[in-house]
Structures are given as structure tokens and as C-alpha cells.
Chains A and B, each alone.
Chain A
Amino acid sequence: MAVPAIRTEGLSKRYGASAALCELDLEVEPGEVVGYLGPNGAGKTTTIRLLLGLARPTAGRAEIFGLDCQRQAVAAHRRLAYVPAEANLWPSLTGEETLHLLGRVQGRVDLAYREELTGRFDLDPARKVRAYSKGNRQKLLLIAALITRAELLVLDEPTGGLDPLMEQAFRHSVREARDRGQTVFLSSHILSEVEALCDRVAILRGGRLAEFGTLAQLRHLSALSVEATFTGTPPDLAGVPGVIRVVVDGCRVHLQLQGSIAPLIEALAGTGLQGLLSREPSLEELFLAHYGTADHLDRDRVPASASAGDGDRP
């Protein structure tokens, strides 16, 4: 069995009385792209700083390709490349000088790929970092990380300052990395990006791992969004097993369904059903469902995180 690219066991970090991360157990396999989600303050960046050895855990341990992140940090760093959310670079160096420096410190870089990426991201490397926009500084960091061809890419909200065109260039680069067998650990708030790129998704809540699985697995755990249209007055579907959040709008009923669809189909038989639409929840809906903010955003569309039968009626 291959050594995991990332493995944490009971990884915890406290800042005084505040717990930033609680007993995180996580395993990322080599070659997969994992999305790491959570609201602000959930512990995403703390996890990454612990993985990089920039912070010391209060308890537990973390490994990169079997190397302890604290005691074998340098050996672990040889096998990874990191892009931080904040592009803090030396303002007096040019882009080219920065790439040269970071490449030399890393050890090995793919020079041909550097030229390709410089063109793909439309970056002028002759300019000084102080003259770059936020987005250009972010591109510089992305290029510096990608040209190392590291086995593991740790990306902490790497596309914050990128425009949509560059966002596409980024996605293309991540897919290239995955096709080459590199592992990608992507922390992001852009859920469409995670949905498009990631094989598995981990969701943090309050410093704890709330969910970890493929999108299909997460959807399976969540509710199906169903819209039924009737020729006349809709029947009362609130009592059907698995049905929650029933919203009646004239001849139309919106509801969420957890578990098997069979009881609902049985209940709809002979009720003047004219049309039936169902769709799986998007990652955004899954994410929102996990944080209980659905009510604030879209009462009709988002399933509640409560158990079946806990639905409220309008």
C-alpha cells in the first residue's frame, strides 16, 4: 500500500484558550486532488501551517509522505510546494529574480515548464514585485510552486486575486499536475473550483473534520432536491418517510428528500402528478447545509442538516 501523501493523527492546535484545530484525522492518497473546505476560522490555514511545520501542534502529529512534519520538515519540504493565500514576497526583487531564488532554494525546477507557465499566466517577469498587482503576485507564487513539479502541491486559497481567464489557466495547471500523478491539497472558498477539480472533499467545522469523501458520497449523505407539479391541489407530502422542508407554491411543491425515493413515488401515485424534477445538490448547497446557514440564503432550495422528519413547514 502506498504511503499517504498527507496523514494526520489527532492533530490539534490551541491558541491560548481558543482551539483552532481539534483532533484532525486525515489521509490523502498520492495522486488525488483533495478540496479542503470550511468557513473563515474553521482551521484550514492552521492545518496547512501545521503540515508545513510553520506552527507546532498542541497534540497529535502530521506526516508528508511518511515524513514527520516537525522533525523531518526539510525532507518533507523537498517533496512539496506551497502557495499561500497572502502573496508576501520581497518587493525589491523582480519576478524573474524571485523565481530564480525560490527555485534555487527548492533545489530543482522545470525550466521549460517555467517558460510555458509564464506565458500561460501572462506574467511579465522583468517587473519588480512591488509593481505587481495582487493577482500578478499570486501568479508568481503559483508559477514558483508548479515549476518544482513537487509530488505534493499545498494550495491555500491560491486563486483569490485571479481573474476568470487566469482561473481557467489555474484549473488547467492543476489538471496537468494530477495527470502527472502529483497530489494536490486545495484549500479554497471557490466551491465551483473545488467541485471542478477535486476527487475528494474534506469539510471542516469549528476546527473538526465534519465530512470527508467524494462528492458522490457527500451527496448520498445529503438530500435530493425535488420539484413536483400537479394538475390540481397538491397532496400533503410532509408525512412521507424521508421528506423534509415541504414548500407549497400553488400547484407546485418543492421538497427535500433524504434516503430512498421509493416512498415518495408511492405517495405520488394517483395524485394528479403532472411533472417531477429532481437533482442532486451542488457542492455549494452541501457546504451550506453543513453550516446551517441555508435558512438565511435560500429557504426553499437548501436541505436542512437535521434528520428526516425534522422539516419545518411554511
Chain B
Amino acid sequence: MTSALAAPRPQDLTPAGRHPATVLATLVGRRAVRSGASWGLAFGLFIVVQTSAYTSQYKSQAGRDGLARAYGTNLGLNALLGQARAINTVAGWAEWRFIGILTILGSVWGLLTATRLLRGEEDAGRFDLLLAGQTTRGRAAVQAMAGLGAGLVAMFTAVAVGTIIAGSRASVGLRLGQCLALSAALISSPAIFLAIGALCSQLAGTRRRAAAIGGALFGVAYAIRMVADTSASVHWLIWLSPLGWIEQSRPLTGHDLSPLLLVLALTMAAAGAACWLAHRRDVGAAVLAGPDASAPHVRLLGSPIGLAIRLTGSAVAGWLFAVTGFAVVIGTTAEPATTDKNGSSGIEQALSRLGGHGSPVADYLGLTILVIALIVALIAASQVSAIRGEEADGHLEALLVRPVRRRSWFAGRAALSILVLVVAGVVGGIGTWAGAATQHAPISLGSLIAAGLNVVPPALLLLGLGTLTYGVWPRKTTVVVYGYLAWSLLIELAGGLIKMSHWLLDTSVFFHMTPAPAADPNWASAAILTGLGLAGTVLGGLCFHQRDLQNA
């Protein structure tokens, strides 16, 4: 006979690690710290390299004054990166440059990190496992926010190191306090969008939708800041945008960091709201979820391409809305911006490097349409990501075990993506014209549609790179396509003001795009980009046909 086994006493068991209540914070924190430190190091390196390039290329005050004359009055750049102040000094130049560029990239990092680590983990069902441990929904949310906070601290540390290294050089001469203030300003947008990403993760039912809501909020904030920086009469709008608060903090040239208190307040409010909602809602549910049942709508559900339209339609509509919105804003601000100041000669000088020869309005639009180019490129990246997502989520398998050819499925998705990009380009051109027309700006519809189409080839190249990666190395598709897009944007924004080696500039997909309508589109260059993109797509399709399906 066997005796009944005695239940082990708690003191007989070996502790599995630290306090169970910190497991989620540690898990989220570890991934956030790794990501935050990597991005922070990249930001820090960017600051060191760019500062060094500025001081070596503009050694004399006369040279710096020339730079300020050329770019300080460049309204297109002011709209893209924020108002330039005192850029004939290292401090003024660094403040304008780094806040303008790194605020955009930092916002994207914050949004993607928060939605990936919160809603993404919840989507995958892994949060269920952790919530079955010694915690509650509310406490788990607080832990997750603490983990994200750790990632932000890691980013701040890395950025501060880069800023201090750059600032300690004799030719730069920034004090430690200034370096830390600049670092704080630079991690402000990541902080805000980490919190907004966390909040969106409570509102939306899927990671993609959470990122889309957050992206729309970023778009609105950026558009307001952009409008505010194009005309003195509407500069008060800057206080309606969190990105404007960061710009207004002027950590190196001003003496008042109080706008950063608004950043802190918004971050805390969004984080608090995220924790409150997480505590109140069911795990896996969403505040903005639609009904769980509905009457069938089968009109598009007759083929894989119809299914793709049904599944991606709302996202594409959102993107086209964003393109239209930004295009109208850019077009509307063109005329007031270029008549507001008497510095159009500076713009023309700046654009002469790129072959610009148009009117001030055309010159302004030639630079600001980079925003439309970026959004169209983001659409390309999101299309590739959606194609990969179908396979990663196992949905593609449900189609390919039926009489559906791999080639026709892939060709359909690729053709749909190309169509969306072309439509986005045309809509961008028409929207810009519509905006400009409201202000009676002297520019034709034809030239702006051409300018809109001019932004499509870079997006097609990105689509080709993404689909090629998808065919060969599917699990790295999203990383490659978004990574290359971020790289291209960095090079494009950095390379315009600091002379870079030509081969480095060549690596940016945007560098090969002429600044239409300031200059005539270079259709030969556009044809090469389009050809490379299509070749990549075809090759990607062939590789996809030959390989095994790979779930996430």
C-alpha cells in the first residue's frame, strides 16, 4: 500500500526568482530597455556625428551666418522640422536639428514599442498566462507602464551620453545642464507616445488598430505643429500640439523648460488613463470594439483579392485620409507661408542645390511634399507588413489549402498595393492643389498631380524591397522594410544640411526623388526606382512560390 503524498509546504519549495508581483514589469522592462537603449544609442551617435560635421564644415562665423541665411528663412524646412532660431550658433542649430528630426523618430518608437509590448502580447494570449499569476489587471497595467518607463530611462541615458560627448568638445561647448535639458526634450516625444500607445492598446482590439489610432493622433499633432510654424498669424496653434510644446521648450537657446511640464502632465494623464481602463475592462476585450455579431456582408468575400480589400480597406481609407489631410494643410499654408516673410531668396538658394527653379510657392511645396512622400512610403511598408501578417497569423494557410494559386494570391496583393500607392500619390497632388487653390496660390493642378506621382516611385522601391524580403526571409520583412524607411528618412533629413558622402546619400530612397513641383520630376530616375521596385516584387513572388509557408 502506498501512503498518501503530503502536500509540500511553501517553505519547502525553491523560490523561482524575485517577487512574483514584479514579473510583468521585468518582462516588459527587459524588452523596452533593450529597444530603448538601441534607439537611444542610434540617436546619440547621430547627435555626435552631426555636431562634429557642423563644427568641421562651418568653422567660421561667416560660414554659419551663411547657413542661417539659407536655411533659417527656409519655410519648407521650418514646416517640416520646426522654426529655426539662431542656427548660426552650435546651440541653436543643434536644438532645431535634433528636436526636429528625433522627435518624429522618437514618437514612432514610443508608439510601436507600447502597442507591441502591450496589445501585441495581449493579442497573442501571453498576458493571460501572466495575469493568472499573483497579480490583478490593474496592477499588471501599472507594472507594464513601469516596464515601459524603464525603456524610456534607458533611452534617456543613451541619448544623454551622446549629447554629453558631443557637447563636451571645445568647438561645441555645451554645459552639462544644457546637455541634460536637450536629452530631456529629445525623450519627451517617446514618453508621450509610449503613454499614448499604452492608452490606444486599451482602446483598440488589435495591435495594428492601436498603432493606427496612435499614428492618427501623431499625424494630427504633427500637422498642427506644422501649420503653426508656417505663419506668425497662427503660431499660437503651437500650444495645441505636444510636439509644439517640445519645440517651445528650447532647451539650449531658451531659459524656460516649463513647456516640458505639459509633456509630463500629458504623459502621466495618458498612462493613468491606460491603467484605469486596463483595470476596468476584460482581458482581450477593447473599449472601442464593435459588436460581436452582425448580419453577413459577403459582397467582397468571393475571392482572395476581394478578401484583401475587405480586410485592408479601412486601413487604406485611413491612410488616404491622412494623405489628403496633410496635402490640404501643405497646400493651404503654401501661399501664406511664402508671403509672410521676405526670405524666399534663401529658399531658392537652398533649392538651387536640388535643381529648384520655381516660384516661392513651388519651392515651399517642393520641400514640404516630403511629408506626403513619407506617408506614401509608410503605406508601402504597411502593405508589405499586412501581406506578411496574413501568413504569420496563419490566415493565408486557410486559403492556400484550397484551389488558390500562390502566384495569383501574391500577384493580387502586390497589384492592390501598387494601385493604393498610385492613388495615394494622385490624391496627395490633388489635395495639395485644393489647399493651395483656397489661398489662390499660383500653381497648377497638373504640376501638383505630377508632384504627387513623383512621390510614388520611392514607395514602389520600398514595396519591392519589402516583398523581396518577404519572399526570401519572411520573418524579417517588417524589420527590414520599416528599418530601411527610418534610415532613408534620417539620411534625407540629415543630408540636406550637412554634406554627406554621395554614396551615403544614395542609400536613401528619398534622395533619388526630385523636389517637385519646385523642380520638374526626373522621370528617368523615377522609372529606374519603379523598375527596381517591380523587379524586387517579381523576384519576391518567385521566391515565395518556392518556399515553405512560415507562421509567426
Which A residues are within 8 Å of any B CB, using their own CB?
A: 49, 52-56, 74-75, 77-78, 80, 82, 84, 86, 88-94, 96-97, 100-102, 104-107, 124-128, 130-131
B403:A106 contact, CB within 8 angstroms: yes
Q: Does B205 contact A56, Cβ atoms closer than 8 Å?
A: no
Question: Residue on A with the closest CB to B292?
Answer: A131
A102 to B401, CA, bound (A): 10
Q: Which residue of B lies closest to A15 (CB)?
A: B548
CB of B16 within 8 Å of the partner chain: no
Q: Considering only CB atoms, which chain A residue lies closest to B394 in the complex?
A: A88
B311 interface hit (Cβ, 8 Å): yes
B→A interface (CB under 8 Å): 205-206, 291-298, 301-304, 307, 311, 393-395, 397-405, 546-549, 551
Q: Which residues of B contact A55 (CB under 8 A)?
A: 548-549
Contacts of A75 in B (CB 8 A): 403
For A97, list chain B residues within 8 Å (CB). 296-298, 301
Whether the Cβ atoms of A77 and B401 lie closer than 8 Å is yes
Q: Which residue of B lies closest to A105 (CB)?
A: B402
Given contacts A55-B548, A55-B549, A104-B301, A88 and B402 within 8 Å (CB-CB): no
Task: For A52, list chain B residues within 8 Å (CB).
Answer: 400-401
The complex places the Cα of A86 from the Cα of B401 at a distance, in Å, of: 14
Docked Cα-Cα span, A54 to B304, in Å, equals 17
Cross-chain contact B301 with A100 (CB below 8 angstroms)? yes
Among residues of B, the one whose C-beta sits closest to the C-beta of A50 is B548
Give chain B nearest CB distance to A125 CB in angstroms: 8
Question: In the complex, what residue of chain B is closest to A52 when comparing beta carbons?
Answer: B401
Q: Determine whether the beta carbon of B395 is less than 8 Å from that of A89.
A: yes
Bound-complex Cα distance A234 to B293 (A): 69
**Whole-angstrom distance between the alpha carbons of A92 and B292 in the complex?**
9
Q: What are 13 A-B pairs with beta-carbon distances under 8 A?
A: A52-B400, A74-B404, A77-B404, A78-B403, A88-B393, A90-B307, A94-B296, A96-B298, A97-B297, A104-B302, A106-B403, A126-B296, A128-B291
- Cβ of A56 and Cβ of B296 under 8 Å apart? no
How long is the Cα–Cα vector from A54 to B302 in the complex, in angstroms? 22
A residues within 8 A CB of B301?
93, 97, 100-101, 104
The 6 closest A-B pairs by CB, nearest first: A88-B394, A131-B292, A55-B548, A101-B301, A82-B401, A96-B296
* Docked complex Cα distance between A224 and B292 (Å): 55
- A54 to B399: give the CA distance in the assembly, Å: 11
Least Cβ distance of A239 to chain B in Å?
A: 32
Q: Which residues of B contact A127 (CB under 8 A)?
A: 292-293
Known contacts A88-B398, A130-B205: A74-B403 contact under CB 8 Å? yes
Question: Once the chains bind, are B397 and A84 in contact (CB under 8 Å)?
Answer: yes
Set of chain B residues within 8 Å of A125, measured between Cβ atoms = 296
Q: Which residues of A contact B307 (CB under 8 A)?
A: 90, 101
Bound Cα distance from A311 to B115, whole angstroms: 60
Residues of A within 8 A of B551 (CB): 88
Contacts of A96 in B (CB 8 A): 296, 298
Q: Assess whether B402 is in contact with A106, with CB atoms less than 8 Å apart.
A: yes
Please determine whether A128 and B397 come into contact, CB atoms closer than 8 angstroms: no
A107 and B298 form a contact (CB under 8 A) = no
Would you give the shortest CB distance from B426 to chain A, in whole angstroms? 28
Report yes or no: A54 in contact with B401, Cβ–Cβ below 8 A.
Answer: yes
> Shortest beta-carbon distance, B542 to chain A, in Å?
14
Q: How far is the CB of A127 from chain B (nearest CB, A)?
A: 5
CA A106 to CA B402, docked complex, whole Å: 5
| B292:A74 contact, CB within 8 angstroms | no
Is the CB–CB distance between B395 and A88 below 8 Å? yes
Bound-state Cα–Cα, A142 to B294, Å: 22
Query: Within 8 Å CB of B549, what residues of A?
Result: 49, 54-55
List chain A residues, Cβ under 8 A from B398: 84, 88-89, 102
Could you say which residues of chain A place their CB within 8 Å of the CB of B405? 74
Given the known inter-chain contacts A74-B404, A105-B304, A105-B403, please indicate yes or no for A54 contacting B296, CB distance below 8 A. Answer: no
Given A54-B549, A100-B298, A127-B292, decide whether A107 and B393 contact each other with a Cβ distance below 8 A. no
- Residues of chain A lying within 8 A (CB to CB) of residue B206: 91
- A94: chain B residues at CB < 8 Å are 293-294, 296
Measured between beta carbons, the chain A residues less than 8 angstroms from B397 are 54, 84, 88
Interface centre among A78, A88, A101, A127 (most CB of B within 10 A): A101
CB distance from B478 to the nearest CB of A (A): 18
B403 x A56 contact (CB < 8 A): no
Shortest distance between the CB of B299 and any CB in chain A (Å): 10
A126, B399: Cβ atoms under 8 Å? Answer: no
A124 with B293, Cβ < 8 A, contacts A56-B547, A92-B311, A105-B402 known: yes
